[in-house]
Structure formats: C-alpha cells, structure tokens
Amino acid sequence: MSYQKIVQVGAGGNVGVPVLQNLIAAGKFEITVLARQNSSYTAPNASVKVVKVDYTKHQDLVDALKGHDALVLTQGDFANLFSVSKIIIDAAIEAGVKRIIPSEFGNDLQGPAGRAEVVFTPKHQVNDYLVEKSTTGQIEFTVVATGPFFDWGITHQFLGFDIPNKKATIYSGGNARINTTNLDTIGAAVAAILANPSQYKNKFIRISDFHVSQNEILSILEAETGSKFSIEEVDVDKLKEDSGRGLAAGEWNDANIYGVVKGSIFGSNSSANWGPSDDTEGLGIPKKDLRTELKKLI
C-alpha cells in the first residue's frame, strides 16, 4: 500500500528537484518540504507545503516530522552529511516516521569496492546508522545506488566530455563500463518506492539507465556532432592513488576528492559497475536509448 504523506529535506539541489517533481507528478502524495529557517526556498507547486525549522532544535524537528509516513533526504552538503542526517533521522524516529530514503544516490557502497572507499565515509555512516536502527524496529529504510548522474555528468563534464570544445578525457582506455542514471530517473525511482514501500523495506537497491563505456559515449557524440574529439588519456588508477595520498595528508580539496571518486567509478576496482541487471525494471521505469539521451545534451 502506497505511503501518503511524504516529507523531503534538500528539495532544491541536483537530486532534490527531480525527486520533488516526480513526487508531485505521481499525484498520490501529500508532500511537505522541510527547509532551514533561514532558507529562501519556495515551493514550485501550490500543493507542496514548506515548513521552515531550526535543525538545532530537536523538538521543533520532531513536531515538523510528525504525521508523515516517509522521509526523503536529498541534501547535498556532503561534508556534513552524517551529522545533519543523524539529527533528522533521530527526530524522524521520535516522530513516528516509518521509512527513510537517505541521500545515497551514487556508487554502490555495499560491495567490497564501495565499502573500502574512505571518501564515502559520511554515506557509510548514514547507512550503518539506519541499519542499526532498523534492526530494533525503530525505522525502515531503502537505499538507492545509481552510479554517477548521467545527464548532469555529461553537461558538467564530470564523465569526461567537453562537448562545446569537442574534447574528451578518457580514463584508462575508455573501455570500462559503468552504471549511470539520469536525474529524472532517480526521481521516478523514489516515487515508485514510496508507492510500493513493502517491496523495498530495508533494502539496498541499484538502478541505472545505462551500462556503458566512455568509448561508446564518445562514438555517439562524434557521430552526432560530426566532429572528431581531441583526446586526453588519463591513468585513472594512478589518479585515484595520487588523490588518495592527498586526502590521507589532510588535503580535502575538490581535486583530490574528485580524483578518488573518478577512480571509484572508472578504475579497476569500480563500485559503479554492477552490470546490466538491477532493480530499474522492477520499479516500472522504462528503458532509455543512449543515443536519444545524448542528443538531448548536445
């Protein structure tokens, strides 16, 4: 039976916006967005209620969360992910919220490769905390792995392609396949989980639109733009190793963080490659065509 009352935290970010859009489009949920007291966030739809609250005041959070069936966390503050998530999770448990979907939405962190990634420690902490609370029946969870975001990763050059300048950064030959997901698909998955919560109780699931290599993407981009891309080859395992040394030395800058993350995606011990079979079809999400989606981004 579908949940009815949903509360979302972090509705204005890269993942938060499409999640909220899909919850609205489903037409079956009463939606509340929780925002910080000093936030300028406004609802995109009159049907969405916005409640502003001081996260440092536990009882205010509890009161704001009472009466909701499920909580969706899509906040993007990675540095404070665990500390903020824990505050909200504790309040949600006290408020009687049944299900939490945490702000995971990335690599599969449950396998050996994912568990070994220190850079994802805040996500591990959130997941482990939810598992701990679920074992005593205090809360249920669903954790969603998506691999890197496909449309965002193409347009922001995170996946290695600078389309306007016809350049590509190819990691370790470009033949390694990864699972990757459009942001809208993530939103659709969250809505589908909340519409059928019993099937996904206390589960770690994986979704993706594509299981694809950089070279496959490059071939389509060159064909559709009619241009040959200039190529920069990068040894991604070395990049990850060098960046990891920087993190170990306390240099938590974007270059080192992204170096490790890209190694975790494209490297020889990838946590973003689980193959073509996952939970996407079971959620009722239609299969996408790679060429069609890339043409939208050119």
Query: Could you report the average pLDDT of every consecutive run of 10 residues in the chain (298 residues)?
Result: 96 98 98 95 95 96 98 91 97 99 97 93 97 98 99 98 99 98 99 98 99 99 99 98 95 94 98 97 98 98
Q: Give the model's pLDDT for residue 76.
A: 85
Residues recorded for the chain:
298
Residue 136 CB-density burial (10 A; 0-12 exposed, 13-18 middle, 19+ buried): exposed
Q: Give the model's pLDDT for residue 78.
A: 81
Tokens read off for 58? 């536990």
CATH architecture observed for domain 5-148+181-206: 3-Layer(aba) Sandwich (3.40)
Residue 54's nearest CA partner among 81, 18, 91, 19 is: 91
Q: Give the model's pLDDT for residue 77.
A: 81
Q: Give the model's pLDDT for residue 79.
A: 79
Q: Which CATH number among 3.30.70.980, 3.20.20.70, 3.90.25.10, 3.40.190.10 corresponds to the domain 150-179+210-274+281-297?
A: 3.90.25.10
Instruction: Name every residue whose Cβ is closer than 8 Å to that of residue 102 and which is 6 or more positions away in sequence.
Output: 73, 85, 123, 126, 127, 130, 141, 143
**All structural domains of the chain with their residue ranges:** 5-148+181-206, 150-179+210-274+281-297
Instruction: Name every residue whose Cβ is closer than 8 Å to that of residue 218 and which is 6 or more positions away in sequence.
Output: 161, 168, 170, 174, 229
* HSE-up of residue 72 (Cα within 13 Å, Cβ side): 33
Entry pTM: 0.97
List the beta strands (DSSP E) in 221-294.
230-234
Cβ contact 178:212 at 8 Å: yes
Element (H, E) at 161: strand 161-162
Cβ contact 292:266 at 8 Å: no
- Token pair 């395992």 is at which residue? 237
